[in-house]
Structure 1
């Protein structure tokens, strides 16, 4: 992966090639856009972004895949470009993640307004899948019928999550090339102000208290605190030097234990209020 990052940074031509053909592999194309933006600025990143968009535009017109999926992928490229520029200028993961999350939400809503027919087709497809799954379960009772609001929340969350993955990959590439250990130090310091954290928790709670259709938006709005919780876990493991295998156990638990995600959101909130990292450091002095 480091060799790929080196190739991208050799010049505009190389970066454009990776952005164009990288769409065949998960994350590669937007990560290339992000790396160039982080290292060379918005203008250079925008040029690479345009090359990365070409395969998506071709797929939009000739592919049999739902147009909404292709458009959501394009929206993700835009989100990665914007959040990468914010991270480059501010060197603040908290600000970059807030921009990323709200740009993902805004982009999803704009797609719904501009391409309502495509959204309606995808909504019907998802509803059919849910209905078929419930029929195969043998219950004979329809417990939930996903509507437009639910679908948009899922799309926004997927756009944000993939954008985060691309931004993390690009920052890791940049650190590997120019600043060894820099990404780790930044991620370990990820923390939000109490006001921002409380606002996010209120928004997540409102989604859960609203009709079930809007519950899917809770994952998107809780994503920043979720990542802050993960950053605190990484910091704690490194601070106490208890071994990287515990991180492997943690991620396995994250996959198989659903409520652990909510625990991490709560951990991110507590850290924003109590500054747990500082307390851990002082406790060892």
Structure 2
């Protein structure tokens, strides 16, 4: 990773090769977005503009062939990188990503409306078997409401995936920047990610009440969960660093996140909400400070 970051920052030609080459390759658009964000974070928009314009060409080509993901993730990560360069904290950047997620939702509906509706139809057919007796106990009106939520929720899930990829691309760029110019800076920066009580509660309400307020707001459930999940990961990283616990537990966390996504992902969001109220990392640091004073 360091060698690639050094190659990107070696000059305009090298950066252009990586940004454009990754954008051309299928499923490598996240790397292009990360490389472009690195140039923007380090050199600013004016110096990086020439490179970024070239990077938009393959993204627009993918859009022409019906795939907007490269363009969305690239522009989204660059927009968030601008905020990060302007000294915005990670908590605010995470909140801004929800706005990007809403934009992604609208674009996905315009481009993939037909396939998403077809997928919702297949899910609708599987609901009686999946929910078993619970589905049979629903009234016709409740079944209609449940079926009406399928398209917004599926679109929101796809948008949330792009939202998470956008944030991961930005994090990779920030990690590269710290690796080259501020070793260890990204780790300490990420471990401080924490939402205050009000934003965390608003995110929680968006997850829980969005579908009941309006069918189209059902997309807020997955979109609002993404910042909370990242804050939950930051909480675990922070506690591991403070308690000097073996990093093996972090490996176990990410393996569990992949294998037991349906269980671990909501747990991370809940942990972030609880941490917004009790500040576990702050309490742990204060206890360590008090313990050190007592020993002295």
Same fold (TM over 0.5): yes
Q: How does 1:51-130 map to 2 (within 5 A)?
A: 51-61=54-64, 63=65, 67=66, 70-109=67-106, 111=107, 116=110, 118-127=111-120, 130=123
1:245 aligns with 248
Deviation at 1:80, TM superposition (A): 0.3
2:282 paired with 1:272: no
2:279 paired with 1:282: no
Select between 47-56 and 143-152 the one with higher mean Cα deviation: 143-152
- Taking only aligned residues, the RMSD between alpha carbons, in angstroms, comes to 2.8
Select between 25-34 and 40-49 the one with higher mean Cα deviation: 40-49
Q: How does 1:152-191 map to 2 (within 5 A)?
A: 152-191=155-194
Does the 8 Å CA contact 1:123/1:147 hold for their aligned counterparts?
Answer: no
Change (3 A) 1:5 1:136: farther
CA distance in 2, matches of 1:121, 1:44: 41
SS of aligned partner of 1:180? coil
Deviation at 1:4, TM superposition (A): 1.0
Select between 260-269 and 201-210 the one with higher mean Cα deviation: 201-210
1:232 aligns with 235
Does the 8 Å CA contact 1:126/1:146 hold for their aligned counterparts?
Answer: no
2:10 aligns with 10
Deviation at 1:84, TM superposition (A): 0.5
Q: TM-score, normalised by structure 1?
A: 0.84
Does the 8 Å CA contact 2:149/2:218 hold for their aligned counterparts?
Answer: no
CA distance in 2, matches of 1:263, 1:72: 28
2:34 paired with 1:41: no
Per-residue CA deviation, residues 130-149 of structure 1 (Å, 9 max, x unaligned), is 47978999x9x999687542
CA distance in 1, matches of 2:86, 2:214: 39
Q: Which runs of 5+ in 2 are unaligned?
A: 136-142, 291-296
SS of aligned partner of 2:99? helix
Change (3 A) 1:131 1:205: closer
- After TM superposition, what 4+ stretches of structure 1 lie above 4 angstroms from structure 2? 128-137, 141-147, 208-216
CA distance in 2, matches of 1:136, 1:278: 47
Change (3 A) 1:245 1:185: same
Q: Which runs of 5+ in 1 are unaligned?
A: none
Change (3 A) 1:26 1:88: same
Deviation at 1:28, TM superposition (A): 1.1
Does the 8 Å CA contact 1:94/1:190 hold for their aligned counterparts?
Answer: yes
CA distance in 1, matches of 2:8, 2:174: 13
CA distance in 1, matches of 2:216, 2:227: 22
CA distance in 1, matches of 2:151, 2:266: 25
